[in-house]
Each structure stands twice: as structure tokens, then as C-alpha cells.
Amino acid sequence: MAAFLLTISASLRSDAQVNVSINIGSQPLWGPTGYDAVEYYYLPDLQMYYYVPSHQFIYLNRGNWVFVNSLPAQYRGYDLYSGYKVVVNEPKPYLHFATHKVKYGKYKGWKGKQVVIRDSRDPKYFVVKGHPGNANGHYKEHGNNGNNGNNGNNGNRGHGQGQGNGHGNGKGNKKG
């Protein structure tokens, strides 16, 4: 009887571990660090959502929720890397938009207050497509403003390769 209960107990523990959802590899590079599983991000600056599994933005347009693969034209200049993202792990959070708008409105304008996956040195994020750490199996740091390199300017980590002007590989100059 004891062996039977032990077998059942081990089986239940095994099932519980399988049901844990980890989707780090499907999260965008601009997503905040610290989360193993993310369903949605709420973007307070834009008052819209991003659905991680389908890589779609969800926004309200004339009373209807619209799902699109890229930011709507009026937000194309928005910097997803610096804007604040709130992780919301509930089904169809946009149905609670009025609540989220009030609850997370305090994060509107909080630019650069989160470490994003692209800038993380944690190896668990190396699986994210485009992460500088998944090239050659190790993390590569990039500096800022064209003075790119292993320590970056003033000792700060910069932006990943190919993210825009003044970013890329090279030798940095640490000042401190």
C-alpha cells in the first residue's frame, strides 16, 4: 500500500511540474526581465496589450478590439524598449481594460525604468531570438553612441547589435 501511495504521489508531482508554463523563448526582446511565463503585456503609454503567444498587439479601435502584428501607424515611433510594460497573466485581459487603465496608469511615462530581455546577462534569456547572448553561446555586451564594446561608455551596457544608429560591435571605452 505504501509503495502504491508513493507511486501516485510521484506521479502527481511529475504532472504538476509538466503543467508549469515557461515561455521565455517566445517573449520579445523588449519584454521586461523577471518572468518565466507571460501571456500579455499591458502598455500603459499606448493603452494597449501585447499577446505573447501570437506576437500581436491588441488595441481598441472604434469600440472593437483589434489584433495586429505590428504597432498601429500612429504609434510606430514608440520605443518599446524604453516604455513600461505590465505583465498580465489572465485570459483576455482587454475585457478588463477600464480597470487596467486606472490601475496601471501610474506607469505612463515611466521610460527606461525596466531592464528588458535584450539587455539581460541572465543565460535563461539567451534562448530569445535576437538576444546578444545566443550568438556563439555567450553574452556579448555592446556600448553606446558608436563607442561600442565590452564595457560601453561610462561602464553602462548599451543596446544590442542592429538596433539602430550608433549601436553595434567594437571596442568600448570605460570611464569609471
Domain boundaries, the chain: 24-116
Q: In which residue are the cell numbers 521586461 written?
A: 32
Nearest to 40 by CA among 20, 28, 102, 66: 28
What pLDDT, on the 0 to 100 scale, is given for residue 97?
97
pLDDT at 107 over 90: yes
pLDDT digits (tens, 9 = 90+) for 16-58: 333 345 888 889 999 999 998 999 999 999 999 999 999 999 9
Would you call 42 helix, strand, or coil by DSSP?
Answer: strand
Predicted confidence band at 150 (pLDDT cuts at 50, 70, 90)? very low
Report the amino acid identity of residue 137.
Answer: G
Q: What is the pTM of this model?
A: 0.66
